[in-house]
Amino acid sequence: MTLVEPGTPTTVTGVPEVAAPEELGEARPLRADVWRRFKRNRLAMVGLVFLILLGLVAVFAPWIAPYGITERASGEYRQPPSADHWFGTDAIGRDLFSRIVYGARVSLRIGFAATAISVVIGLLLGAVAGFFRGATDTVISRVIDVFLAIPYIVLAVAIASVFGRSENAVILVLGLTGWLYIARIVRASFLSLSRLEYVEAATALGFSRRRIMFRHILPNALQPIIVIGTITVGAVILSEAALSFLNVGPQPPTPAWGLMVFEGKGALTSAPHMLFFPAGAIVLTVLAFVFVGDGLRDALDPKLK
């Protein structure tokens, strides 16, 4: 005998009536659910707004910057901020505000391009190591351990000395040295996901390994990849600044923020604005990417659904 709670609508046969779809509520798409949780993180929203503004500054730099990146003001060397030069001038009279505005293009281009290279390499090697396991996993993991044992800056400087110091060379250097942690995260995700029932079912149905890896496992491993990719962009911008500070990054007159910091460190007492403004741009940009990555991690976490 079936017991029905008092007040529950029933049919003639006494079976509980199924609720109408409108009474159950409309199911939200996953992206709407993620965006709703992401908006709750105020720091993540602040970081997102800052990155959008920075992207607009990079796109419309010729219309925002009042001077060219090589244009010099005669006799106005190391001048403090003023109405004509909002961020002051550097040691040879160039407008710092204009160079920082154009430097947003350099930093974002290097950040996204190098991160794309790192994600592709890390994704492929991590997926192969985590899916095939055994000897393949051992070889790839030991290669990663060897590279991780070398200090990152030393490795980047060594590769930069081979490929040169142009902007494209810096992208290649940072892309080839930034995939290690991504590969380890992807490997861990594939190791756990490859043991689940749907992977065993796909294997039993005779699907190819490539199909199982990239059409069944990869979509479920995207959460950590998206998060680490977002944070890596900020890390790459910081690494580019470190290479420029060591004078192995983009060369003058490229308006790289790290190069401006390198040029301003010698005038810290007489013209501190030459160091503080480009360093502030680096700090704010890196923090924005970290905040957005942290917000994405919380929004994509299935435990918070």
Residue 34 lies in a domain: no
More reliable by pLDDT, 26 or 78: 78
pLDDT at 300: 77
Residue 198 lies in a domain: yes
Average predicted confidence (pLDDT) for the chain:
82
Residue 86 lies in a domain: no
Residue 254 lies in a domain: yes
- The strand pairing partners of 10, in sequence order, are 16
Average the pLDDT over 118-138 and give the result. Answer: 90
Q: Tell me the pLDDT band of 280, cut-offs 50, 70 and 90.
A: very high
Number of domains composing the chain: 1
Q: Which residues contact 91 (CB under 8 A, 6 or more apart)?
A: 77, 78, 263, 267, 271, 274
More reliable by pLDDT, 175 or 269: 175
Residue 71 lies in a domain: no
pLDDT at 9 over 80: no
More reliable by pLDDT, 299 or 20: 299
Average the pLDDT over 228-236 and give the result. Answer: 89
Helix, strand, coil tally for the chain in percent (to 5): 70, 0, 30
* Closest to 223 (Cα-Cα) out of 251, 188, 248: 188
Centre a 10 Å sphere on the Cβ of residue 28 and count the other Cβ atoms it contains. 11
Q: Is 141 left (phi over 0), alpha (psi -120 to 50) or beta?
A: alpha
Helix (H, G, I), strand (E, B) or coil at 42: helix
Q: Tell me the pLDDT band of 21, cut-offs 50, 70 and 90.
A: very low
Average the pLDDT over 230-238 and give the result. Answer: 88
Name the amino acid, one letter, at 281. Answer: A
Centre a 10 Å sphere on the Cβ of residue 272 and count the other Cβ atoms it contains. 13
Residue 50 lies in a domain: no
Residue 53 lies in a domain: no
Phi, psi for residue 178 in degrees, rounded to 5:
-105, 5
287, 292, 297, 298 alpha-carbon torsion, rounded to 10°: 100
* Closest to 69 (Cα-Cα) out of 254, 194, 207: 254
Q: What angle do CA 229, 233, 239 make, to 5 degrees?
A: 130
| Residue 57 host element (H or E) | helix 42-59
pLDDT at 57: 93
* Closest to 54 (Cα-Cα) out of 1, 106, 121, 116: 106
Q: Tell me the pLDDT band of 120, cut-offs 50, 70 and 90.
A: very high
Q: Tell me the pLDDT band of 28, cut-offs 50, 70 and 90.
A: low
pLDDT at 222 over 90: no
pLDDT at 1: 45
pLDDT in tens, 144-166: 988 888 877 787 777 777 777 77
Q: Which residues contact 106 (CB under 8 A, 6 or more apart)?
A: 167, 250, 254, 255, 256, 257
SS (H, E, C) 2-22: CCCCCCCCECCCCCECCCCHH
Q: Tell me the pLDDT band of 25, cut-offs 50, 70 and 90.
A: very low
More reliable by pLDDT, 2 or 186: 186
What is the torsional sign of CA 134, 140, 146, 148? Answer: negative
Average the pLDDT over 88-105 and give the result. Answer: 89
Domain interval for residue 289? 105-258+278-304
pLDDT in tens, 53-95: 999 999 999 999 898 888 887 777 888 888 888 888 888 888 8
The single residue listed with the structure tokens 């779809």 is: 21
pLDDT at 246: 78
The single residue listed with the structure tokens 């199924």 is: 18
More reliable by pLDDT, 10 or 293: 293
CATH number, domain containing residue 204:
1.10.3720.10
Q: Tell me the pLDDT band of 22, cut-offs 50, 70 and 90.
A: very low
pLDDT at 304: 52
Residue 212 lies in a domain: yes
Burial class (CB in 10 A: 0-12, 13-18, 19+), 181: middle
| Portion of the chain with pLDDT greater than 70, in percent | 89
pLDDT at 283: 92
Centre a 10 Å sphere on the Cβ of residue 61 and count the other Cβ atoms it contains. 18
The single residue listed with the structure tokens 């920082």 is: 100
